[in-house]
Amino acid sequence: MFSDPQENIQQFSLGPGNFVADFGAGSGFYSFAAAEAVGPSGKVYAVDVQKDLLEKLKNEARNIRHLNNVDIIWGDLDHLGGTRLRESSLDAVIASNVFFQLEKKDNACMEMKRILKPGGRVLFIDWASSFGGVGPQPQDVFSEEMAKKLFEKHGFKEDRSIGAGAQHYGIIFRK
């Protein structure tokens, strides 16, 4: 695997009882790792625009992994309010390998800011480059520098960088 969700979540230091959104949850690897980290007193909201992936994620969470703290949300991250989560209600947001796919990155960043509590954190991971057919096309790569500028523009502060694998970069931002 190019980027290890378990290891990245461990570096993010989620704690028991945290409420977390996984933006662009896809197959759920980050949702599952986060659900284990926050425990039964916490909650993970797996947000994706692909309903079929969300159904598979929900089935795996409940029936295979026995995680009852994962809720799925069909949502469009290109739209402010697209998660339908309450304002200032979450401790953390995970955005892994999703920003290179978004058309309206500003809206997704503003949605993070809207749903995070004061001091809430974002685990941001994306492709460092295009790797010969793996990952985004060269014109779609959302670089580390671009990410820092976008989050700073929306009032986030860079907390620290994490090791996110050979083909990825990882940054923790704080609201």
Q: What are the structural domain ranges in the chain?
A: 5-22+30-87+97-102+118-131+143-169
pLDDT tens column, 34-89 = 999 999 999 999 999 999 999 999 999 999 999 999 999 999 999 999 999 999 99
Is 80 in contact with 8 (CB distance < 8 Å)? no
Q: Which residue has the higher pLDDT, 26 or 135?
A: 26
- Residue 174 predicted with pLDDT over 70: yes
- For the chain, the average pLDDT equals 95
- Residue 125 predicted with pLDDT over 90: yes
State if pTM tops 0.85: yes
5-22+30-87+97-102+118-131+143-169 belongs to which CATH class?
A: alpha beta
What 3-state class would DSSP assign to 118? strand
What's the alpha-carbon Rg for the chain, to the nearest Å? 15
pLDDT classification of 131: cutoffs 50, 70, 90:
confident
Bridge-based pairing of strands 19-23 and 43-48 is: parallel
Task: Give me the sign of the Cα torsion angle 28, 34, 36, 39.
Answer: negative
